[in-house]
């Protein structure tokens, strides 16, 4: 089977993560073109993957026009999605888009409508879902939910403050919940089902040493799940630390880490587990295998059609925290 001819739009930090996977997937996929507003970044990609500089672009429209691509990765910052998905849809090119896929839910809904119309294969970079412990965790949690044994959960994440220029501007990044904690909120949805209402408060003023910063330092959110479970989520970028979801039942407790570690405490036993796979690699390989037709596209754990619900959830949290903690129902 022929190799997937891949193009990249955005060759910054997260693109390096994908590149490290394509270094190890040369039998299945070949990066043949790259675009970045900073040409040196796209040139570095050309050098790394051995293609000529005539396939390096600063304008993605030209890349789409000139290259024959089987799939693309969209790795631009959240505020920079300005139409690339629609060209991919028009041309029928499957795409892997980084989270958060935009800060404008109307834009995302329009993308989804096009994707559905063309039955296009898509993936979103919510790679934590691919940790191989989640099969077990999901079935354990699922059994407890079906017996109505889970009352509540409490989650937290301290994510640190990424120093890329756009992160500190909420209109570019979406703020911490949308840009960063979306991974953890996505796992809440993945394991416990959809969230129907959020109420959120935030604070600023702890981070004083980063100029031009308008992102909240921390937020606390109350979540109501469709199945009746209630939960709280505390998250901040003022410090670095781990994060996990703690789940409480009448007779036990379970802690689930973002990277798929878990610890279950039951009356007579404690059991723990850690993932054995490289879930970031598996996320990219699943997309490529689907594009190659080797697996069904349903095996992609985070297609655009599902990731848009996590995007809508985090945007609803922003809406609540920006409006004095009013209850907001996610728009999807």
Assess contact for 46 and 34: CB atoms under 8 A. Answer: yes
Report the C-alpha dihedral over residues 221, 222, 227, 228, rounded to 10 degrees.
170
Query: Minimum distance from CB of 38 to ligand NAD (Å)?
Result: 5
Q: What is the CA radius of gyration of the chain?
A: 20
Closer residue to ligand NAD (CB): 29 or 44? 44
Closer residue to ligand NAD (CB): 96 or 156? 96
**Residue 38 touches ligand NAD, criterion: CB under 6 A:** yes
**Residue 10 touches ligand NAD, criterion: CB under 6 A:** yes
**Residue 13 touches ligand NAD, criterion: CB under 6 A:** yes
Neighbours of 274 (CB within 10 A): 12
Pick the piece of the chain touching ligand NAD (CB under 6 A) from 13-21, 23-31, 147-155, 190-198.
Answer: 13-21
Closer residue to ligand NAD (CB): 15 or 56? 15
Closer residue to ligand NAD (CB): 41 or 55? 41
Give the side-chain half-sphere CA count within 13 A for 9.
27
DSSP readout, 248-298? EESS-EEEEETTS-EEEEETTEEEEE---S-HHHHHHHHHHHHHTTSS-GG
Binding mask 76-105 for ligand NAD (x = CB under 6 A): xxx-x-----------------xx------
Closer residue to ligand NAD (CB): 70 or 85? 85
Residues 118-177 that bind ligand NAD (CB under 6 A): 125, 127, 164
**Residue 303 touches ligand NAD, criterion: CB under 6 A:** no
**Residue of minimal Cβ distance to ligand NAD:** 12
**Residue 55 touches ligand NAD, criterion: CB under 6 A:** no
Residue 197: beta bridge partners? 224
Burial class of residue 120 (count of CB atoms within 10 Å of its CB; 0-12, 13-18, 19+): buried
Kindly give, in sequence order, each residue whose CB lies less than 8 Å from that of residue 49, ignoring residues fewer than 6 positions away.
19, 22, 30, 31, 32
Query: Minimum distance from CB of 33 to ligand NAD (Å)?
Result: 12
Structure tokens at 74: 């969209």
**Residue 7 touches ligand NAD, criterion: CB under 6 A:** no
Structure tokens at 184: 């953890």
State the residues that interact with ligand NAD by CB under 6 A. 9-15, 35-38, 41, 60, 75-78, 80, 98-99, 125, 127, 164, 179
């Amino acid at each position: 089977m022929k190799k997937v001819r891949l193009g990249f739009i955005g060759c910054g930090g997260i693109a390096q993560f994908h590149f490290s996977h394509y270094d190890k997937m040369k039998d299945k996929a070949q990066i043949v073109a790259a675009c970045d507003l900073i040409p040196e970044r796209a040139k570095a990609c050309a050098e790394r993957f051995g293609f000529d500089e005539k396939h390096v672009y600063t304008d993605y429209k030209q890349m789409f026009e000139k290259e024959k691509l089987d799939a693309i990765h969209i790795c631009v910052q959240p505020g920079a999605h300005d139409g690339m998905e629609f060209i991919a849809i028009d041309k029928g090119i499957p795409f892997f888009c980084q989270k958060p896929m935009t800060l404008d839910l109307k834009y995302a809904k329009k993308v989804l409508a096009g994707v559905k119309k063309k039955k296009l294969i898509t993936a979103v970079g919510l790679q934590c879902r691919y940790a191989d412990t989640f099969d077990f965790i999901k079935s354990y949690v699922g059994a407890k939910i079906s017996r109505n044994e889970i009352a509540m959960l409490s989650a937290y994440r301290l994510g640190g403050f990424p120093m890329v220029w756009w992160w500190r501007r909420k209109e570019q990044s979406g703020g911490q919940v949308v840009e960063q904690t979306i991974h953890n909120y996505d796992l809440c949805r993945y394991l416990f089902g959809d969230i129907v209402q959020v109420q959120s408060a935030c604070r600023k003023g702890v981070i004083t040493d980063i100029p031009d910063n308008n992102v909240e330092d921390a937020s606390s959110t109350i979540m109501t799940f469709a199945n009746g479970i209630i939960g709280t989520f505390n998250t901040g970028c003022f410090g670095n630390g781990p994060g996990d979801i703690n789940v409480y039942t009448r007779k036990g407790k379970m802690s689930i880490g973002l990277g798929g570690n878990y610890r279950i405490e039951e009356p007579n036993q404690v059991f723990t587990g850690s993932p054995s796979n490289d879930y970031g690699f598996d996320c990219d390989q699943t997309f490529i295998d689907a594009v190659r037709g080797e697996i069904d596209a349903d095996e992609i754990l985070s297609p655009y059609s599902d990731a848009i619900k996590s995007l809508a959830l985090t945007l609803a949290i922003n809406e609540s925290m920006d409006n004095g903690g009013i209850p907001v129902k996610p728009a999807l």
